[in-house]
Amino acid sequence: MAIDYIFGLFSNFTFVDIIDIIIVAYIIYRAILMFKQTRAMALVKGILVLLIVTVVADLLNTTTLSWLLNSVWTVGIIAIVILFQPELRKALEQFGRSGMLITPTFKTRPETEITDSIDEVIKAVSVLSKNKIGALIVWERETGIRDYMETGIPIDSLVSSSLLINIFIPKTPLHDGAVMIRKGRVVAAACYLPLTSNTELSIELGTRHRAAIGISEYSDALAIVVSEETGSISMAINGEIQRYLDTNALREKLRLHLVADQQDRVIDRLWRGANHEKN
């Protein structure tokens, strides 16, 4: 019965309807790719949750909740335009350059090699710290920060201590700004980051430290800072900064947040998949 219904439904489709569906599906697919590696993806998920709640509220005839949600959606279009203004502008620019069909991508290393990348970062940080060379290294995690990566100079290279040290040598073209790492590859250098608006921070913290805290507030990225004045090592995560770390402590924290967290996510996906098959 269900098969006959579905067959009958599709039999009413014309060739134009099929083309129309394919075009709309492709546009949605490209939009998801555009937002996937940016902070906007979290906003998209929030909007989808709000949409589902609105539909459920209408189906259950909850008068007050439905009125409240519908009022939110009344001004929601304007709010969405404001929230997604950078992404919408970027999409229109790509469309104007006829680049809608091609999206630049960055090569990534297998997850099993992240530990090697951590060791290279530790080697670089050790040398930079001993020589009191300022540095800011940001490691992308789950939340995409492509919009900040694109403010710098693309590199797309394996992580190596020699590369990182040379980037931060004073008075070189790329030393001023952040190096961005995605899954074990240096994606870009000389990137500009948002500064934290936290007014309770110590006055000892300079621009690098405030930028590290800022990017960790905007995303779940992990930021490593080497102080130019003292050579001290700090790490910012979840809007908080941990200062005066030695290389051993930094290595353990990087492995905890980049390797252990990743393994936990894999195990969680496998667990959910196994439970789904049982059900």
Measure the CA–CA gap between 253 and 241, rounded to whole angstroms. 12
Cβ atoms of residues 258 and 141 within 8 Å: yes
User: pLDDT higher for 51 or 169?
Assistant: 169
What separation in angstroms does the CA of 5 have from each of 1, 10, 17, 30, 33? 6, 9, 18, 31, 33
Please give the torsion angle defined by the CA atoms of residues 237, 144, 261 and 137, in that order, rounded to the nearest 10 degrees: -50
Domain boundaries, the chain: 2-96, 111-265
pLDDT at 90: 58
Measure the CA–CA gap between 182 and 146, rounded to whole angstroms. 10
Measure the CA–CA gap between 120 and 114, rounded to whole angstroms. 10
User: pLDDT higher for 61 or 79?
Assistant: 61
For the chain, give the percent of residues with pLDDT over 90.
42
CATH number of this structure's domain 111-265, picked from the four choices 1.10.10.10, 3.40.1030.10, 3.40.1700.10, 3.40.50.970: 3.40.1700.10
For the chain, give the percent of residues with pLDDT over 70.
72
Strands 233-237 and 153-158: unpaired
Residues contacting residue 152 through CB under 8 Å, at least 6 positions apart: 174, 177, 178, 180, 188, 189, 190, 191, 192
Q: How many residues would you count in the chain? A: 279
